[in-house]
Structure 1
Amino acid sequence: MSAERPLSSLFAMLHTVDAVHGAYYFLLHFWIDLFGASELSVRLPSALAVGFVTAGTVVLAQWLFSRRVAAFSGIVCVLLPRFTYMGEEARSYALSTAVAVWLTVLLVRLLVVHTRRTAAWAAYAVGLALGIYLFLYLALLVVVHGILILSSGRSRRLLRRWSTTALLGLLAAAPVIAFGIAQRHQIAFLAHRHRVTVLQVVFDQWFGDLWLGLLCWAFVVLAVVLGLRPGRRSQPNGMVLLVAWLLVPTSLLLLGNAVVAPMYTNRYLSFCTPAAAILVAAGVAALPRNWMRIVSIGVLVTLALPVYLSQRTEFGMPGGSDWAKASELIGQDAKPGDGILFDQHVKPSWRPRLAMHLYPEDYLGLNDLALLTPYDETTGLWDRVIPQARIGTRLGSVSTVWALETTRSKEDAANSDIHVLERNGFSVIHKVRIHRTIVYELTRSTP
């Protein structure tokens, strides 16, 4: 929705909210101009980006370890639920993760060839800034890269060169960092969620399943304990890089979440997934027999398959989103001039009103009874609507109203849209529960 705004409206919105996502919105804005806003179109950039993430992970694994580890890394990328999930959603995580892994590839290359070329180091600064514009927390990768530089025992001159380059990248990203701090209230809702648990951090964050997570962590521990080292002495310490990449950003976010302000949710660490994939692959590759490696990959596939398939079911998106089906029903049965109402008593990202913006062709000609100001005429994210108590004043000559209510609404039933309509003479003649949405058709004989 934000990407579909006129650019003037998008600029106005970003001054108020979502500035940290502005770069992604702009990219998607021009993508939609070229290819439309279908589900396939808006998800395709993420799918393509995950391909680049996988390619970068394979290249990095080969440089740090071996072709065998690189091959297993590519397989693990295909299997890990965090990879497959960020490849199917219209968010910036896949794009920013692609930047993260290729930026790390570039840094490793710079350390191996000992280059002083300004263009190469400038590319690192530009890549770092681009990654932060795509996802603010990618700035934490600077800490990981700093640990790599220090552990590799390089000269102070190289350390100064990297520090200067990283600082330039951070300075170039200063505007989005400043806006992110100013708009930090946006993620204040994280404080109202359940307390962060070990299950979320250790398993859900990358592996999405308890048993798959246990096996993956076993391979990670095996790789670390055996102390796999780069194939050539001139290469940086790959194990230090990967362990730092896996653990340091997570630790810093959890620490900030505990002592500063709410800032953690497990998808925010998507950019660390390449490290998890390579460490799991290194553990598999460390097994002494080929049949052990083959069996291990088979077990990984078996454990990952249920999560993989669940992501691709009809209601596989978070919370079981069913807006496509609900909208299809409205498009088939509603008639021009009918009224339409949407449940407003759940969190904004769950409100079925969003279905109308995602599938507008199914709502053509309907009378949006609660609309006050369309979202793209505001500086916020959502449509402005009238108070529920005033809906009766807008019913006029409407004799049929469709209401989309969510099964998770916390509003007392007596104050629901359905009861407001019933008090205005409407009766429910049809009710369909699709998944998490209930579609009501109500009519009255005398407007």
Structure 2
Amino acid sequence: MAVAVPGAVMLAVGLWGLHRGGMWRDEAVTYQVARRTVPQIWRLLHGVDAVHGLYYLLMHVVLAAAPGRPGEVDLRLPSVCAAAVTASLVAALGARLARPRVGLWAGLLFAVTPLVGHYAQEGRSYALVAAGAAGATLVFVRAAAEGGRRAWALYGGVLAVTCWLHEFAVLLLLAHAGTLALARSSGRVWRGWCCAAGGVVLSLLPMVVVSHTQSAQVAWLTEPDVETAQDLLRQYLGPTDGVYWACLALGLLGLTRLVGRRGEVTLAAVALPLAVLPPVALMLASQFTPLYVDRYVLYALAGAPLLVALGADRLAGMLGRLWSHGTGTAPRSPAFTLAGVLAVVLAFTHQVPLLRADRVPGTRPDDLGAVARAVARVLRPGDPVLFLPAHARGTELTYPEDFKGTRDVALAEPGPASGTLYGREVGVATLRRRLAGADEVWAVVEKYAMVRGYRPRLATERAKYAVLNQQFVLRQEMVVDRIALRLYVRPIRGGDGQP
């Protein structure tokens, strides 16, 4: 029960509002790539998104198995299931290292945390990485207690697969090393862990090498600061003030027995390094090369509810002793367990508005479905379309039926055939020739590209802007989230050849 109930609750929270509307661009990339053939995916990974390669291959299988044409729910369902598994694994950690009620409380807290609910409904790899990290931590605890080559080999295998889902899961090794240090583990345990950790790192080297050449993909990231760390702590413990301060106090109380007997792995010694070391390490590394985003260390969140539940157990123990001292009778344990569950329910009700808002269409950075619906209302078959810049084509690739019959003026070769995300575009001369006979052009434009002074790096992109501004005038514009749909028309020329 202590393990199953949190998983069931997480499943219910994840399924609630799962069909919230259109995909946003990161989900759209998953959807587009996963629907390619395996050779096409393999070719793409040599140039972009190698860090998500295993996830794309898994989603290729999932979407291929979906009945009919797969949609948003099919894309997000694996993340919901992974989050439910993670909640159960968090509960299993608490039950193994403390007692069943600690596991129950921790698993439930994990399930009702808004940040977890957010990524449980994303068609990206982060919920699966969290499940793999929690599973690896549970196997790690067993291996540290029982030893044996098989246990450490299983640990290394689970963690290696998790790291191939996202390479920053390798920071989990820091958390586990911190646990062994706090437990004052024997040399035999350290040797077993080092062998497993070495195998994980070696297996990950090919991805590290390839992904390093693709680092331009994260050039938009900035250096994290103290405010970034404070925001992450609040996301881990609860965004609302009441939940945050209560959980912070209980989490600190949970640290009172951080170190046990020599060689003993305590729950606090697992939870604290898990919650702290991966995000801190990534933030510190990002002072030199910005790499930090909260979703990259989502798996570390599991440590926070474990500490909070452990603190609640400490508080329950103190209250029990006070009760016994005052009445001469021991309090019944189920009463405390139920009280803890009710406290989690109260935390959940406090955060329901946040969870509900997260399920409203348009709460993600953009909604490509809304853009596609706008396109379907105004474009006609045969209309020429320009995407500025090229990655604005993601809307068409995700919702091709809304662009049916239109002409992509700048496209030379589609993404699957060219081994790119958004296709290969024509040269400047070809683009000008294709636009020469057009009386009007629809442009799908990223909002940042409409800022005065914006100058694209590629010649074809600059040519798009030059032709539109020199030969056409803006007739109509609709803005949806971060994308504008613009109609440009060629001025009518008079008899003297002048507009």
TM score, norm. by length of structure 1: 0.85
Aligned residue among 145, 166, 182 for 1:151:
182
Q: CA deviation at 1:333?
A: 3.5
Q: Tell me what 1:70 maps to.
A: 103
Report Cα offsets for 1:113-171 as digits up to 9, x if no partner. x252x433322121121111111111111222222233334432232222222222332
In structure 2, list runs of 5 or more residues that go unmatched: 1-31, 320-335, 456-461, 494-499
1:199 correspondence with 2:192:
no
Residue 285 to residue 394, structure 1, CA distance change in 2 (3 Å) = farther
Counterpart AA for 2:175 = V
In structure 2, C-alpha distance between the alignment counterparts of 1:143 and 1:299, rounded to whole Å:
34
Q: Is the 8 A contact 1:21 1:134 kept in 2?
A: yes
The structure having more radius of gyration, on CA atoms, is: 2
Q: Which residue does 2:382 correspond to in 1?
A: 337
2:124 alignment partner in structure 1 = 91
Cα shift readout 1:304-339 (whole Å, capped 9, x = no counterpart): 22321222111011x2x1210120122243221011
Alpha carbons of structure 1 residues 103 and 425: separation in structure 2 relative to 1, 3 Å = closer
1:11-43 deviations in Å (ceiling 9; x for gaps): 233223322221112112222222254211121
Structure 1 counterpart of 2:202, from 158, 167, 171:
171
Residue of structure 2 in register with 1:209 after alignment? 239
Q: Is the 8 A contact 2:474 2:486 kept in 1?
A: no
Whether the 8 Å contact between 1:403 and 1:440 is mirrored in structure 2 is yes
> Which has the higher mean CA deviation after the structures are superposed, 126-135 or 260-269?
260-269
1:61 to 94, 97, 117: 94
Report which stretch shifted further, 233-242 or 164-173: 233-242
| Alignment partners' CA distance in 1, 2:216 and 2:445 | 28
Choose from 364, 367, 377 the match for 2:404. 364
RMSD: 3.2
Moved over 6 A (4+): 387-390, 413-419
Select the residue among 247, 257, 260 that pairs with 1:227.
257
- How do 1:355-394 residues align onto structure 2 when only pairs under 5 Å count? 355-385=395-425, 392-394=432-434
1:54 Cα deviation (Å)? 0.8
User: 2:142, 2:151 within 8 Å by CA — same for their partners in 1?
Assistant: no
1:310 and 2:343 are equivalent in the alignment: no
**3-state SS of the aligned residue for 2:169?**
helix
| CA distance in 2: counterparts of 1:414 and 1:160, whole angstroms | 56
Query: Residues 92 and 414 of structure 1: is their aligned pair in 2 closer, same or farther, counting only changes over 3 Å?
Result: closer
CA contact (8 A) 2:147 2:189 kept: no
Residue pair 2:251, 2:310 contacting (<8 A) in 1 also? yes
Alpha-carbon distance in structure 2 between the residues aligned to 1:2 and 1:216: 40
Counterpart position of 1:432: 478
Letter in 1 for 2:410: A
1:300 aligned to 2:340?
no
Cα distance 1:425–1:20, how it changes in 2: closer, same or farther (>3 A)?
closer
* Alpha-carbon contact 1:413-1:419 (below 8 Å) kept: no
**Residues 80 and 422 of structure 1: is their aligned pair in 2 closer, same or farther, counting only changes over 3 Å?**
same
- How far the C-alpha of 1:383 sits from its partner, in A, is 2.9
- What displacement does 1:271 show? 1.2
| 3-state SS in 1 of match to 2:478 | strand
**Letter of the structure 2 residue corresponding to residue 78 of structure 1:** A
Q: Count residues in correspondence.
A: 431
> Which one-letter code corresponds to 1:146 in the other structure?
A
- Cα deviation per residue 1:74-118 (whole Å; 9 max; x = unaligned)? 221222122112211122111111111011111212334x252x4
Superposition deviation, residue 242 in structure 1:
0.8
TM-aligned CA distance change 1:252 to 1:425, over 3 Å: closer
Question: What is the CA-CA distance between 1:275 and the residue it aligns to?
Answer: 0.7
Q: Check whether the contact 1:406–1:436 (CA below 8 A) recurs between aligned residues.
A: yes
Structure 2 length as normaliser, TM-score? 0.77
Matches for 1:272-283 after TM superposition, within 5 Å: 272-283=300-311
**Equivalent-residue separation in structure 2 for 1:134 and 1:32 (angstroms):** 17
